[in-house]
Structure 1
Amino acid sequence: MKRLEGKVAVVTGGAQGIGQCISETFAREGAKVIAVDMSDLSYTCENVEGYKLNVTKRSDIEQFIAETVKKYGHIDILVNNAGITRDALVNKMTEEMWDLVIDVNLKGVFNLTQAVAPVMLEQKTGSIINIASVVGEYGNVGQSNYAATKAGVIALAKTWAKEFSRKGEAIRVNSVAPGYVNTEMMKTVPDKVLDPIRAKTMLGRLGEPQEIANAVLFLASDEASFITGHNLSVNGGLRL
């Protein structure tokens, strides 16, 4: 039997990279996946449905959740993956750069979870996974805004794990903190920048999107039924 057979999953930031890989992995494991992103999505993978959505627009999110529940009857998994970067040293970071990253990466996670939580609480079951980052664990030069959001989503997962199980509900909330991963965006980074990162990684290489998706799949599945409030670092042993 497939690991997510009969499950309905929502994956934000599903247009490319890690989000796309998570969506397709879930679908192969039997889930009906609604992959949301601000851009139009096109999937050849069966069981993945694209939905254009801005995670900062609360009214649009409420409509999306209502439509999803009406269509499928339940939502079993939420992966909060949508995120952006606007990097600069703190003395050069504009208020606009700060606000935009906070709005998408942190408030967007809050928005989706707040909308999905009542559905899962009524079901008394569900799995929520926030996609964090090694930068949220250790910080990084020029990424004050990004680091703050990724540390924040780890803390949110720990908090929600407590909140959503207070009355005996089997709603698990965890986070996954990837290291540097071979996405399309990373392929534009020169080796002179990536080589020091590889050198600081115990396994001596960057990760692959599938390796992150495998970790998220595990936490979403019943195999992780006794894991909640946990942050899983998937970084090859990287220490920034």
Structure 2
Amino acid sequence: MAYQTFQQEYLQIPVVTRAYTTACVLTTAAVQLELITPFQLYFNPDLILRNYQIWRLITNFLFFGPVGFNFLFNMIFLYRYCRMLEEGSFRGRTADFVFMFLFGGLLMTIFGTFVSLVFLGQAFTIMLVYVWSRRNPNVRMNFFGLLNFQAPFLPWVLMGFSLLLGNSIIVDLLGIAVGHVYFFLEDVFPNQPGGGRWLKTPFFLKMLFDTPEEDANYNPLPEERPGGFAWGEGQRLGG
């Protein structure tokens, strides 16, 4: 019975969020069980170009370190904000969401080469948080019950928290930068005088992912309420 309930809840998670978070958890589990090592996963341009280890372009986004606070923290934020984007502003636009993944991953791979980052999953999470926060500017956030602020400040609060933990802020800055590039090209520039839409989802992605009908029984997670955790609760102003 419990397994069936878990299976139903799991299958209700939208497809992109389900696929990405599952891949991250399975990758971490494989490392913990010593089936693979981080040395087989990290981003290395030389090994990719010279030894054709193409999988590193993907696996470096799937490993967040050994199981511990940092891993759980990243998984919670990845799951929550990825799902809220997919069920919110990207609802019914799975192909566009996949294209954002590809666009963001490509930019991070290019920038990551110059700053010598070997794992980009945390930066990717910050990118998702940044895009969500800019599309929900009126949501009030509560972080660990200590700070109250509006959603657009969330990526910067996370960066400050990362700094307090002794981590490098380069990863967070990369996520913020890539998130801003996507948000500007997708949400800001097309609405400017003389602007236009530069980011267009390829037709083959629409053929693969977009379906004309939605499941009437689908129960989405409201995008405007990232609550449920004391470090990421929020509500709309006036709500």
Larger Rg: 2
Q: From the two aligned structures, give the one with the greater strand fraction.
A: 1
Q: From the two aligned structures, give the one with the greater helix fraction.
A: 2
Instruction: Answer 1 or 2: higher relative contact order, Cα 8 Å, separation at least 6.
Output: 2
Q: TM-score, normalised by structure 1?
A: 0.29
Q: TM-score, normalised by structure 2?
A: 0.29
